[in-house]
């Protein structure tokens, strides 16, 4: 696991580079729903949850309409208390649920995969909400939506990995703007700060081409 100092440096670099593309602000943690502070979360002592568990809620707000929260939990191998998604045997499950509170509908969520360690992307329906219209894995886990309006939320979103988690970021996109959600769990150690910044820029370029 990278040091806290290294992580902070990477996030600072990412924020600076993304800020050159367009205005953004970062949300703080907030209390939310089922995947926030989940009692079955994977715990190696280094997560942001109580006692170092990998479970929390991350808020995002770009100040121009894209805002909300993402509940998330990383579950250890053989532990996934929901139906509709089957993790790869022996792997951890990274689970998310996104809530929209802004005036602009949300069309995409990406969670970066800096090590290419994610597999088996999907959804689970125990958490009621809007299903993505498409989802795929590349250099990010990507879920696309028809549009999550204020007061709406996604169903459960998930992928598996053999890698234990580290904190990095995700990007939430409206057709013409974006917000950065920091931190979100990613599978494996984070890369050097310059690589993190380039990763964020690459995510935005790809998503804007889809828009």
Structural domain contains residue 171: no
DSSP code for 130: B
pLDDT tens string 156-207 = 999 999 999 999 888 898 878 899 999 999 998 765 444 544 445 454 554 4
Q: Does residue 174 lie within any of the structural domains?
A: no
pTM of the model: 0.83
Instruction: Kindly list the distances between the CA atom of residue 100 and the CA atoms of 23, 32, 54, 133, 152, in Å, as whole numbers in the listed order.
Output: 19, 12, 22, 17, 6
Strand-pairing partners, residue 136, are: 142
Domain region containing 65:
4-164+179-210
Residue 159 bridge partners (DSSP) = 94
Per the structure, how many domains does the chain have?
1
3-state SS, 22-51, equals: CCCCEEEECCCCCCCCCCCECECCCCCCHH
pLDDT band at 90 (very low <50, low <70, confident <90, very high): very high
């Amino acid at each position: 696991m990278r040091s806290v100092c290294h992580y902070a440096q990477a996030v600072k670099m990412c924020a600076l580079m993304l800020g050159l593309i367009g205005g953004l602000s970062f949300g703080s943690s907030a209390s939310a729903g089922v995947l926030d502070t989940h009692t079955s979360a994977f715990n190696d002592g280094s997560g942001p949850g109580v006692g170092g568990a990998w479970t929390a809620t991350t808020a995002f707000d770009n100040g121009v309409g894209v805002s909300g929260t993402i509940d998330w939990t990383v579950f250890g191998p053989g532990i996934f208390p929901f139906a509709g998604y089957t993790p790869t045997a022996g792997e951890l499950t990274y689970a998310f649920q996104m809530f929209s509170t802004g005036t602009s509908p949300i069309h995409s969520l990406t969670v970066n995969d800096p090590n290419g360690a994610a597999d088996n992307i999907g959804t689970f329906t125990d958490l009621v909400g809007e299903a993505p219209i498409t989802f795929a894995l590349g250099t990010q886990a990507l879920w696309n939506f028809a549009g999550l309006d204020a007061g709406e939320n996604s169903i459960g979103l998930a992928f598996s990995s053999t890698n234990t988690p580290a904190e990095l970021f995700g990007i939430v996109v409206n057709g013409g703007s974006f917000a950065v959600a920091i931190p979100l769990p990613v599978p494996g150690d984070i890369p050097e700060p310059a690589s993190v910044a380039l990763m964020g820029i690459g995510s935005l370029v790809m998503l804007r081409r889809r828009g």
